Amino acid sequence: MRLRPYRKSDAKAVRNWIEDERTHALWCGNLLPFPFTEKDFNQYLEETEERRGNSSFTAVMDDGTPAGFLRMGINPALNSGFLGFVVVDAGERGKGYGKEMLRLAVKYAFEIASVQSLALNVFDCNKAAMGLYRNIGFEETALTPECFVFHDEKWGRCRMEIKKE
């Protein structure tokens, strides 16, 4: 697996990985409409890249097939990075691809972007994702309880961070 810069044509794969409304909310906090189109996704990425400087990456298998996606923003003033929109192909989950994609993202952040820490937010009900992040070395640094409403559920937002050793 490798990370490469996102291509607009990757939107089709990402859209197909978001199988239902709950998965969509867990993934993007409803920052995109559900269901979203490839055009919606690419437009959102372009706008946030322009406003915030976020970069998008696609994790691809050795044959070039997209297997995951994430965004990374770098804050030079704080010497830190932030991950968002982390997702792995639904058909490939549980095979270690998420772990490998995140390992590569952490390596990029620390070795290429030269930040001292990398953070992300995850909803506290997303136990699988939280377990994966912990396995990589992320630690919980803050919890905002019941800050997001999905139908009749209230989700907390957990901030997790990994620091360069």
- Predicted local confidence at residue 77, as pLDDT: 95
- Predicted local confidence at residue 102, as pLDDT: 98
The average confidence (pLDDT) of the chain is: 97
CATH domain 2-120 topology: Aminopeptidase (3.40.630)
Percent of the chain with pLDDT over 70: 100
Question: 98: part of which helix (H) or strand (E)?
Answer: helix 97-107
Q: How confident is the model at residue 18 (pLDDT cuts 50, 70, 90)?
A: very high
- Predicted local confidence at residue 66, as pLDDT: 98
Least confident of 50-54, 131-135, 153-157: 50-54
Mean local confidence (pLDDT), 86-115: 96
SS (H, E, C) 117-141: EEEEEEECCCHHHHHHHHHHCCEEE
Mean local confidence (pLDDT), 146-151: 97
Percent of the chain with pLDDT over 90: 98
Q: How confident is the model at residue 68 (pLDDT cuts 50, 70, 90)?
A: very high
* pTM of the model as a whole: 0.96
Cis, bond preceding 145 (omega within 30 deg of 0): no
Every domain of the chain and the residues it spans = 2-120
- Predicted local confidence at residue 145, as pLDDT: 97
Q: DSSP character for 165? A: -
Q: How confident is the model at residue 7 (pLDDT cuts 50, 70, 90)?
A: very high
- Predicted local confidence at residue 42, as pLDDT: 98
- Predicted local confidence at residue 4, as pLDDT: 98
Which distant-in-sequence residues (6+ apart) come within 8 Å of 42 by Cβ? 8, 11
- Predicted local confidence at residue 23, as pLDDT: 97
